[in-house]
Each structure stands twice: as C-alpha cells, then as structure tokens.
Amino acid sequence: MEELLRQLRAAAEPTRLRIIALCGHAELSVGDFVAILGQSQPRVSRHLKLLVDAGLLNRNKEGSRAYYRLVASDKNAELSQVLNDLMDESDPVLVLDLSRLGIIKSERARFADNYFDKFAGEQSQLGQISADEELINRLLLEYIQQENVGELLDVGTGNGRMLLLLGSSVENAIGIDNSREMLAIARTNLEQADLKNCQVRIGDMYRLPFSGNRFELITINSLLRYAEKPTDVLTEATRVLKPGGSIIIVDFSDHGLTELRDEYGHRWLGFSKDEMSEMLDVKTISIEDTNFFKGEALTVCVWKVQKVENSWG
C-alpha cells in the first residue's frame, strides 16, 4: 500500500498530471516539456524525476538527451494508463498543451522527411531489383501469428518499418538503433501510426542494453549485410532471447553485386544457407524455416531460427 500511496502522491500535482497526459500521446524530451509547459528546465526535470522514481514514467537516455514515456510493461503500467485515461482532454490547459505538442510533432515529421530523403536512392534502386516486399511482409505476419509474443525486439530498427508492420500484433515492442537521426524518424512514424505499445532506443547491436532471456521474438531486418561481425550480432541477439523464442532474420541471399559495397556500404554480399548455419551457435539455436523470394537481381531470404528450450545462455 505504501508504494501505491507514493505513486499517487507523485501524480497528485497539476504539472505532473499534465506530463502524464502528454506522455500518453508521445515520447518526449525535457526540451519538449519545457516548450509545452512553459516552465524552466530545472523545474521540469524535478517533476520528471519524481514521476520516474515513482515508477509512472520510463526514462531512456539517448546521447545528451533523454526521452520519457508512460511505463508500458511492468506492474505500474496499469496505474499509469488509468491516470492518463482519466484526463479530460477538453480541459483548457490540456487543449493548449496538446496544441503545442502538435507543433512539435509536425517539426519532427518535417525533419524525418528531409533526413530520410538521403536514403531514398538506395531504397529505390534495391527495391527495383529485389523481391516483392509485400510477399515478405505477408510471411512475417504469418510467423508472428504462430507465436505468443509478449515483447518484441527489433535490432537495427532504422525508420521503424518492422515495428510498424508487427507492432499491432504484439503486447510491447522495442526498436534499437545506433543512429539518433533514424530514431527520430522511427519515433515520428510510430506516433503517426498511434502505436503506443512500441518504443525506440539508442543502442549497440553488439551490446544490447537488456538482460538475458527477455524477448519472445527478435527481428533483424536488412542489417547483417552492414555488420562488420554478423556472428557477434546473432550471438548477442540469442543472449536476450527467451528459450523457445524465435529470431527472424531478413537479408539478401548470397549474390555477386560487388558494386553494392561501394555504393551503399554493404560489407557482405548476402548470406547463403550454409553461411547462416555457420554463424549460429548450434548448441543454443537452430534454423526452423527458410524462405527465398527472388527478385530481378537480388534474392531476399527470410530465416526463422529458434532458441532451444533448455538453453539459458
């Protein structure tokens, strides 16, 4: 009971209720709150610390900036959501807050559009000579319908495409990427899709910021071809995967288009089935299914691998 009282005391203050309401709509930084609430940075930071300490908000560090969102996946998630749902959005103060939030979201969307234009060339060219993306998406959705996924991890989330595709089919999802610019794009895309159960964080694919045996499903989409050490990426993903859980890997099958190294920085010219088998630790994980989708010059392969039940690595 004492913990509940502490949480209620933390929330029972006008500014902190406004913060809870805003976090019900978006993941926001201290700077965002300062702009919306019209209060000083130290004062806003104190309010945020109280809410984080009470377990009502999550704080995710991203370089020199931190982002805050409602707790979504632990015992405090229900209370956070109830408090958010009780807010009357016709209240004049909240109407103004949400109007200012709309301006911030619009600015994010403009940044995302401008930044992603830099990568449009690669996406366009590879799309013309690769497999039909819709066929691959259909298979991924079939896979996830076969799984009981509480929490999904998308490694190398980029613009959040996997979260947008699969997020509504899982309880919670986290996307990891080492680019703050791409995370800004992903965050905007998730907000526009209203996928409040999905979040993105900065992180290293070689050292994932999670304890072992956490996720039921991990996706690694169009990432391994850029990795200096793809075996280490798979080993780290296996570490945070629950026994019995699955990793879905989407990448090119082996090909001879060496120009992709120079033009787009691909370190690997795809992966054969044998190469993928060699990169996986057969003591802890096995290939359950392999599907090939042929394009004009590139074949996309989807590998589904599973962590053995008696593995606790």
As a whole number of angstroms, the distance between CA 166 and CA 186 comes to: 14
The pLDDT value given to residue 303: 96
Q: pTM value?
A: 0.80
Q: How high is the mean pLDDT of the chain?
A: 89
- Domain count for the chain: 2
Task: Look at strands 299-307 and 285-294 and give their pairing.
Answer: antiparallel
Q: Is the same domain home to 298 and 163?
A: yes
Q: Is the same domain home to 134 and 233?
A: yes
Residues 105-134 have a mean pLDDT of 72
CATH code of the domain containing 23: 1.10.10.10
As a whole number of angstroms, the distance between CA 56 and CA 75 comes to: 10
Q: Is the same domain home to 79 and 217?
A: no
Beta strands in 39-197 (DSSP E): 57-62, 65-70, 151-155, 172-177
Task: Look at strands 65-70 and 28-29 and give their pairing.
Answer: antiparallel
Point out the domain boundary residue: 55, 88, 113: 113
Residue 125 placed within a domain: no
The pLDDT value given to residue 3: 82
Roughly how many angstroms between the first and final C-alpha of the chain, as a whole number?
37
Q: Is the same domain home to 262 and 138?
A: yes
Beta strands in 261-308 (DSSP E): 285-294, 299-307
Residue 119 placed within a domain: no
Q: Is the same domain home to 182 and 261?
A: yes
| Six-digit token string for 77 | 């998630």
CATH code of the domain containing 286: 3.40.50.150
Q: Is the same domain home to 192 and 92?
A: no
As a whole number of angstroms, the distance between CA 143 and CA 250 comes to: 13
Residue 122 placed within a domain: no
The pLDDT value given to residue 222: 92
Three-state SS for 303? strand
| N residues, the chain | 313
Q: Are the CB atoms for 36 and 22 separated by under 8 Å?
A: yes
Of 214, 291, 199, the closest CA to residue 250 belongs to 291
Q: Is the same domain home to 164 and 301?
A: yes
- Lowest-confidence pick of 7-16, 36-45, 84-93, 113-122: 113-122
CB environment 248-287: b (16+ within 10 A), e (fewer):
bbbbbbebeeeebeeeeebebbbbeeeebeebbeeebbeb
- Lowest-confidence pick of 18-27, 73-82, 130-139, 283-292: 73-82
Residue 120 placed within a domain: no
Range of the domain at 140: 130-307
Q: Is the same domain home to 225 and 135?
A: yes
Q: What is the pLDDT of residues 189-232, one digit of tens each?
A: 999 999 989 999 999 999 999 999 999 999 999 999 999 999 99
Residues 149-177 have a mean pLDDT of 95
* Rounded-to-10 torsion of CA 274, 286, 230, 144: 120
Q: For 107, left (φ over 0), alpha (ψ -120 to 50), or beta?
A: alpha
Q: Is the same domain home to 151 and 286?
A: yes
Q: What is the pLDDT of residues 252-281, one digit of tens each?
A: 999 999 988 888 889 999 999 889 999 998
